[in-house]
Structure 1
Amino acid sequence: MAVVFDRLFVFLSLFAVVYFLEAIGGSYMVSAVQSIERQFQIPSKLSGFISSASDISYIPTVVFISYFGGKGNRAKWIGAGCVLIALAHIMTATPNFIFPVKAPDLNLTQIEQQLNPSSNLLAENVTIQELFEFQPLKDRIPAKIREFVLQKFSGHSITERALEDVKLKYTNHTSNSPYTVDDELINEAMYHFDEMLKGNEDENDPKKVVTILKQFVENRTKDHKNDLKTIRRAAIAHFAFCGKLVNDLRNTVDQLKCNRDGGNFGPLLIIFCALLGLGIGRTMPWSLGIPLIDDNVKRKSMPVYFAGISFIRILGPITGFLIGSFCNKLYFTAPAPPPAGLTPSDPTWIGAWWLGFLMIGIANIVPSLALFFFPTGNKNSNKLTDSEVSTTKKRQSLKLFDRHIDENRNNNPSEDKTASDKFKTFAMSYKDVVKSKVYMGSVIGRVMDVLAFKGYMFFLPKFLENHFGLPQYKVQQYMAMFGVFGFACGTLCGGLITRKFKLNGRNAALFVFIISVANTAVFFSKSFLGCHSVVNGIGRDGV
């Protein structure tokens, strides 16, 4: 017995997959922009312009495609648009292969030599003066303190005024800083230095403080790789440390940037063209898919289907940010390993942004082609009434063509419009829509909403990384958990409120206005909120 498929169910399944992948691609672009900027040395003003390429192509084409595509086989149009989306995603990833960028190779030999203690420093009879010459200790213990401690051990006296001048340089020192090594040992040594300089400890018995400093030196032999990562993090932080190791590494990084080729026209052009194609492809799933579902689903079942679509709209961005988090944990040269000492927490880390675009594009090809070649079936099934169609035919029926067009053709069988007549009809239809005050008000409100929200969301990961020192992969996780989760809660609450209070069009518009004003007020209030970031915490903690 032949298996009978529900054509509507098959179509909806394919549509859900391609719509889900399209939603993933939108949020994934936000997670990839930082790595693209770093790999091809693109300034933010250019990356912001490039990101708008999909909107530049979307706006003028969506009107025409929704009108003319609705008059044809909508499944084929949707499939063609999704194929274009898949190719655009793959094309976006190609600059990584067409214009390969060599991974930054820092010469850290000199830094490593200064981090490795000599055998003399590990000897039992090592003196505190020899320990003070070890560069990591030299960077952490201020010169004045080293001078006063050596004077104390030599039997010289120090004035109270001189001690007051250096007191704040170490008593407010922070601990557990991501930019310094062995804070606990340094703070413990500083405490003993302070007690010794005040006369509370015997300066003739330096054994205790020497033991602490020797432990610091021994740890450098064990934690060599972690020390290198810490110093690298401090060298490329958005603030300055006064230390020879950090400054030497900072000079090495600056020299590497100067030697890199700054040409980025080729990658920019390819990504811009790919996003133009992406914008055209994005017009079809939403503008043609929703009317097609409306034509084939019973009115009482529509809320269930729209709830499913809303769920996909929420789940898609969450998945996109999670994929971005995964790809940002990998270095852009993957599967090759990153340079020594470089981790995803490093501000110069370049994630494997291209991998996500390839994954989304390749995954989108098969369901998109399935939609493009989706069988039309019996086009005359649109004309049949429910009483004239058997149960099996009902299960197999799917109206891929707009039922209103079929009705017009039945009423005017001799009508055969030319291309010019079709454009005139389109212009008249669009003119009627534009005359609607409700429609124009909704459009203006939506434009203002996107104007405020688009740039904010696009550059939010960069702001969070620079202001709070968060690695990109964690930023994507937070945006998936909190940003999109908030959108999901808002969608759910809005639907429940609308249903509970049975808001009509005018009341619903008033409800949107009130919520929008409250939303704007909350966002504006963030300008007056202070917070402790990594940057302003440096001065507060006295690092």
Structure 2
Amino acid sequence: MASSVKKKTKCCDVLKMFMVALTFSFTCKALSGVIMKSSITQIERRFGITTSEAGFIDGSFEIGNLLVITLVSHFGAKSHIPRLIGIGCFIMGIGSFLTALPHFFMGPYRYDSIINANPLDNSTVTYTPCSTDVNSAGNNRSSLLLESGCKSESHSFMWIYVFVGNLLRGIGESPIGPLGLTYIDNFAKEGHSTFYMGILHSISMIGPTIGYLLGSLCAKLYVDFGSVDLSSITINPNDSRWVGAWWLGFLVAGSLNIASGIPFFYFPKNLKKARKQSTGPTPLDAPSTKENGGQKLNFKDSEQTKRNGLAGFFYSLKCIITNKVYILFLISTLMTVSSFIGSITYIPKYLELEYGMSMAKSNFLLGTTTMPFVAISLLLGGYISKKLKLSVMGIAKLFFITNIGSSTFLAFLWFLNCGKQPIAGLTVTYTGNDPGTTENIPFSFCNSDCNCDANVWDPVCGDDGLTYMSPCLAGCKYSVGHGKDLVFRNCSCVEANNFQSGNSSAYLGKCPKTDDCSRNFIYYMILSSLSSFIIGLGGTSAIVLIFKFVEPERKSLAMGFNSVVIRTLGGILAPIYYGAAIDVTCLKWDTDNCGDQGACRMYDPASFRNRFFGLTGGLRASGIICYIFLFIAMKKKYQENKTGLSNNGGIDMDQSNLKEPLKNNLVSSPHADGETHI
């Protein structure tokens, strides 16, 4: 008797230690995922690629995960689970290091600026932006290219290292989620697995929070800090040409991922007190009978458990994809997850364009507002499920209501904006009038005598309140100061619009946003946080629904197949088609020294906003419509009575699950697992 108690205590202790190790692993993988999301725009600018190409790089994580996750979920459950998780953590760490590798092979980052073509020393040498000399350096870049030859410095194939590194992270992440949760569910006491999962995913939300804060810090640091004279840099983090130290975050994430994998090599393959398979959750499509006051599981395909190898794998897969309720839930979830993935990838870019927030500040706010709200809602959602003793239909109702509420707040965000940004020759005329459409006419009477390069994007803010694409196009005759303190004087275009004050100076960077825009940004953050909070309340139920739709022995495979679909159609494709939609709204493209198109420097705010929220809203609406059909199908097939059993064989939640909080993970929820659960 004493020996039995001792073994039981030792088993519980090992499981608790496994929980600690898995929580740390989940935190680290979430952190590395957020680092990629928060750095994707920096990567886009550093390598001179389009937004859709950057989205393809971001989706490589899902490609890597897709390659192995189904097989890992099926065969890994029969192998040494802790050891596979440890190997996965090591692969994730190596992938993060490989992602950062290009920084150490590439030369210093050179942003597009006419100042770079004619650099100043530390003295106050006068520079003449507006010059009638056709060979003036900086104003006619093409003449310099003929002499020095074409050399593309930013448009480099080094981005392939980032792609492969992110792909390796996806491969390494594949065993951590499905197998880790399976291990807990296999060896936890009956009814305790949901409680452990709730703790696991609630605590691991620290990862995204830390990830966004780390991403904010890296975005503040110049990409080549430590190797260049920062006093000579004429741009700041609010500039669309700014590239932060994107590589630094991957080095930190890689080290943490490797460290998180070490403990798993010391856990056993099996624990003595494993739960019997018959105590697992009952699928919705399994007939039930009432016997001795309990529920007895009867499966039509009980012989399936005897099948092994590939035959068993394909048979189980067939059972899953022919489960109509499961497929309906998968489709509806896919729509919601796709909207979340696409929007979270480009939210920093949107906040920078619409509200003038730097990438560093956007990441900081996401880490300190949105992520804590999500973490709190996960815990609260589990508590609500426990307190109200929600049945499967009750959980489905909660999930549906929270999706409706979150989408409603999203609609309000669509109408919050700061209007069109006045950029002379691009969004407004040189007199400041709105032409009705984007005119993209860089030259006017005030700069017609200047030999300007219309392709240069080096914005300055004039005393007249207009932003000009370059000091040359503003008609500035000379400059004073150095670095970020550089000021341009005697600007003819500014003088033409400033009759009263007579000031005709221009300063580096775009003109700041108005006070009304700052207030709208506060409203945006409040509504955005509420939207995240509401959807998190229902997101806790997603994993329970998956477990209820399939047989116990297929839980791991169902989660794996769910992840495959979500990652293929959501994780891979969503950033690409979101990026393609955003690229269409570009007003000003960067050009490298070979004249090739690089990253976008300026988007049309109204068009960007409509496409961004139009896609998100359309996907959300499609998901809600699909979920209505799912809810009708569930209600029709599995109507509940007072005993929790349906007249046609459907079931309520098993009693073991009612005893514990339903604080579950984000897998297959609007915040899907792995890379998409931030």
Q: CA offset at residue 45 of structure 1?
A: 1.1
Supply the AA of the counterpart residue of 2:354.
H
TM-score if structure 2 supplies the norm length? Answer: 0.50
Aligned position for 2:226: 335
Supply the AA of the counterpart residue of 2:211.
G
Return the match for 1:54 from 61, 70, 75: 61
Please state if 1:363 is matched with 2:363. no
Aligned position for 2:399: 512
Alignment of 1:316-355 (within 5 A): 316-336=207-227, 337-338=229-230, 339-355=232-248
Aligned position for 1:314: 205
Aligned position for 1:281: 172
Q: CA offset at residue 78 of structure 1?
A: 0.7
Question: Aligned partners of 1:285 and 1:303: how far apart in 2?
Answer: 17
Return the match for 2:48 from 34, 41, 44: 41
Give CA-to-partner distance per residue, 1:347-406, whole Å, 9 cap, x none: 3221111111011101221331332x22537x5835899xxxxxxxxxxxxxxxxxxxxx
Residue 266 of structure 2 aligns to a residue whose secondary structure is coil
Aligned position for 2:268: 376
CA contact (8 A) 1:321 1:480 kept: yes
1:382–1:471 CA distance, 2 compared to 1 (3 A): same
Please state if 1:268 is matched with 2:159. yes
Q: CA offset at residue 59 of structure 1?
A: 3.0
Alignment of 1:458-537 (within 5 A): 458-531=345-418
Supply the AA of the counterpart residue of 1:298.
K
CA contact (8 A) 2:186 2:274 kept: no
Aligned position for 2:120: 109
Give CA-to-partner distance per residue, 1:430-450, whole Å, 9 cap, x none: 111222233212211221112
Q: CA offset at residue 10 of structure 1?
A: 3.1
Residue 238 of structure 2 aligns to a residue whose secondary structure is coil
Return the match for 2:105 from 93, 98, 104: 98
Supply the AA of the counterpart residue of 1:505.
V
CA contact (8 A) 2:76 2:179 kept: yes
Q: CA offset at residue 55 of structure 1?
A: 1.3
Supply the AA of the counterpart residue of 1:109.
L
Aligned position for 1:197: none
CA contact (8 A) 2:218 2:248 kept: yes
Give CA-to-partner distance per residue, 1:31-61, whole Å, 9 cap, x none: 1112211211111110011111111232352
1:428–1:303 CA distance, 2 compared to 1 (3 A): closer
The gaps in structure 1 that reach 5 residues or longer are 117-134, 136-242, 246-250, 386-410
Give CA-to-partner distance per residue, 1:82-135, whole Å, 9 cap, x none: 11111111111111113334445823439974779xxxxxxxxxxxxxxxxxx9
Residue 331 of structure 1 aligns to a residue whose secondary structure is coil
1:384–1:276 CA distance, 2 compared to 1 (3 A): closer
Q: CA offset at residue 8 of structure 1?
A: 2.8
Q: CA offset at residue 279 of structure 1?
A: 1.4
CA contact (8 A) 2:28 2:257 kept: yes
Higher strand share: 2
Question: Aligned partners of 1:84 and 1:268: how far apart in 2?
Answer: 19
CA contact (8 A) 2:30 2:208 kept: yes
CA contact (8 A) 2:64 2:167 kept: yes
Question: Aligned partners of 2:78 and 2:348: how far apart in 1?
Answer: 42
Give CA-to-partner distance per residue, 1:244-274, whole Å, 9 cap, x none: 69xxxxx949959987615645322211112
Question: Aligned partners of 1:101 and 1:446: how far apart in 2?
Answer: 44
CA contact (8 A) 1:468 1:535 kept: no
TM-score if structure 1 supplies the norm length? Answer: 0.62
Aligned position for 2:70: 63
CA contact (8 A) 2:189 2:275 kept: no
CA contact (8 A) 1:461 1:472 kept: yes
CA contact (8 A) 1:23 1:313 kept: yes
Alignment of 1:407-486 (within 5 A): 422-486=309-373
CA contact (8 A) 1:27 1:317 kept: yes
Supply the AA of the counterpart residue of 1:376.
P
Residue 381 of structure 1 aligns to a residue whose secondary structure is coil
CA contact (8 A) 2:355 2:418 kept: no
CA contact (8 A) 1:39 1:101 kept: no
Higher relative contact order (CA 8 A, sep 6+): 1
Question: Aligned partners of 2:220 and 2:31: how far apart in 1?
Answer: 18
Aligned position for 1:10: 17
Residue 326 of structure 2 aligns to a residue whose secondary structure is helix
Q: CA offset at residue 459 of structure 1?
A: 1.0
Q: CA offset at residue 482 of structure 1?
A: 2.6
CA contact (8 A) 1:103 1:333 kept: no
Residue 270 of structure 1 aligns to a residue whose secondary structure is helix
Supply the AA of the counterpart residue of 1:271.
V
Question: Aligned partners of 1:21 and 1:93: how far apart in 2?
Answer: 17
CA contact (8 A) 2:28 2:260 kept: no
Q: CA offset at residue 304 of structure 1?
A: 4.0
Alignment of 1:147-296 (within 5 A): 252=138, 255=141, 261=152, 264=155, 266-296=157-187
Residue 389 of structure 2 aligns to a residue whose secondary structure is coil
Supply the AA of the counterpart residue of 1:482.
T
CA contact (8 A) 2:63 2:167 kept: yes
Residue 157 of structure 2 aligns to a residue whose secondary structure is helix
Question: Aligned partners of 1:383 and 1:88: how far apart in 2?
Answer: 34
1:14–1:489 CA distance, 2 compared to 1 (3 A): closer
Q: Which of these two proteins has the greater Rg computed from alpha carbons?
A: 1
Question: Aligned partners of 2:31 and 2:109: how far apart in 1?
Answer: 29
1:60–1:505 CA distance, 2 compared to 1 (3 A): farther
Which of 292-301 and 101-110 deviates more?
A: 101-110
Which of 18-27 and 305-314 deviates more?
A: 305-314
Give CA-to-partner distance per residue, 1:309-359, whole Å, 9 cap, x none: 122332111111000011111111132343344433333221111111011
Aligned position for 2:672: none
Question: Aligned partners of 2:78 and 2:100: how far apart in 1?
Answer: 34
Question: Aligned partners of 1:46 and 1:32: how far apart in 2?
Answer: 14
Aligned position for 2:88: 81
Aligned pairs, how many? Answer: 379
Q: CA offset at residue 496 of structure 1?
A: 3.2
Return the match for 1:29 from 14, 30, 36: 36
Q: CA offset at residue 508 of structure 1?
A: 1.3
Residue 11 of structure 1 aligns to a residue whose secondary structure is helix
Question: Aligned partners of 1:370 and 1:283: how far apart in 2?
Answer: 18
Q: CA offset at residue 526 of structure 1?
A: 2.9
CA contact (8 A) 2:85 2:180 kept: yes
Supply the AA of the counterpart residue of 1:480.
G
**RMSD of aligned residue pairs (Cα, Å):** 3.7
